Amino acid sequence: MAGLFITLEGGDGVGKSTQAALLEASLTEAGHTVVRTREPGGTDLGSEIRSMVLHRRGHIAPRAEALLYAADRAHHVETVVRPALERGEVVLQDRYLDSSVAYQGAGRVLGADEVRDLSLWAVEGLLPDLTVLLDLDETASRSRLDSSRTEYDRLEAEAADFHARVRHAFLDLAAAEPDRFLVLDASRDRADIARAIGDRVRELLG
Ligand code: TMP
């Protein structure tokens, strides 16, 4: 495909949105057409799924949760991501299938391989060209979250051991696919992080 597909991953509160905004601004300034989007919730249908999966009160069975994220992803990729890549644009996306492997596979203990296969089926095998993993230990990300929120969604409200499993699953994914992942220490200065991401993206854009 002609475009470039970049995803940002990491725990809650690590600074993905800040980095996405900085990268979008610098790519737009350099003349690229950027589609900035997110999962869950990058489409109208996805917004409905997002409010169900994050804000519905009461229990959601872990397999149902995994299927809701996969449904959001299938619709988003078919209607937004693939068309933009086919037009040759840069898709800059907050979270993708690695989040499902980390949160549902490791956090909910459904198993990494099955959850990955479910997502790959949903998106007909589409993988990002680059995945930026912003890594932060769960105590630091929790304190960042606590300083910016008064209410937590269903995933943010999970206990520390859930978030520790999520973090280690992301690091395992990055170690298994070193060419796709750029792992950065999210406690670094935000301008340094932006520079490191920008350098890698410029390499990919040639
Ligand atoms: P965010 O968009 O504010 O980061 O919130 C999305 C939440 O959903 C976050 O806690 C991570 C979680 N999530 C999953 O559990 N599985 C997924 O596949 C995705 C995309 C997100």
What is the DSSP code string of 47-58? HHHHHHHHH--S
Provide the residue ranges of all domains of the chain, joining segments of one domain with +.
4-205
Q: Which of 143, 19, 34 is nearest to 80 (CA)?
A: 34
Q: What is the model's pLDDT at position 21?
A: 98
pLDDT digits (tens, 9 = 90+) for 22-40: 999 999 999 999 999 999 9
Q: What is the CA(74)–ligand 1 centre distance, in A?
A: 15
Third-level CATH fold of 4-205: Rossmann fold (3.40.50)
Please provide the size of the chain in residues.
Answer: 206
Amino acid residing at 17: S
Lowest-confidence pick of 57-61, 121-125, 172-176: 57-61
> Are 94 and 19 within 8 A, CB to CB?
no
Mean of pLDDT values over 180-205 = 97
> What pLDDT, on the 0 to 100 scale, is given for residue 72?
98
Q: Which residues, judged by CB distance below 6 Å to any ligand atom, belong to the binding site of ligand 1?
A: 12, 38-40, 54, 69, 95, 99-100, 103-104, 155-156
Q: Are 14 and 143 in contact (CB under 8 A)?
A: no
| pLDDT digit string, tens, across residues 61-77 | 999 999 999 999 999 99
Count of Cβ atoms closer than 10 Å to residue 86 Cβ: 11
79-135 per-position pLDDT tens digit:
999 999 999 999 999 999 999 999 999 999 999 999 999 999 999 999 999 999 999
Residue with CA at minimum distance from ligand 1 atom 12? 155
Residue nearest atom 18 in ligand 1 by C-alpha distance: 100
Give the separation between CA 3 and CA 87, rounded to whole angstroms.
7
Return d(Cα 185, Cα 162) in angstroms, integer: 20
State in Å, rounded, how far the first CA of the chain is from the last one: 15
Closest residue CA from atom 6 of ligand 1: 40
pTM: 0.97
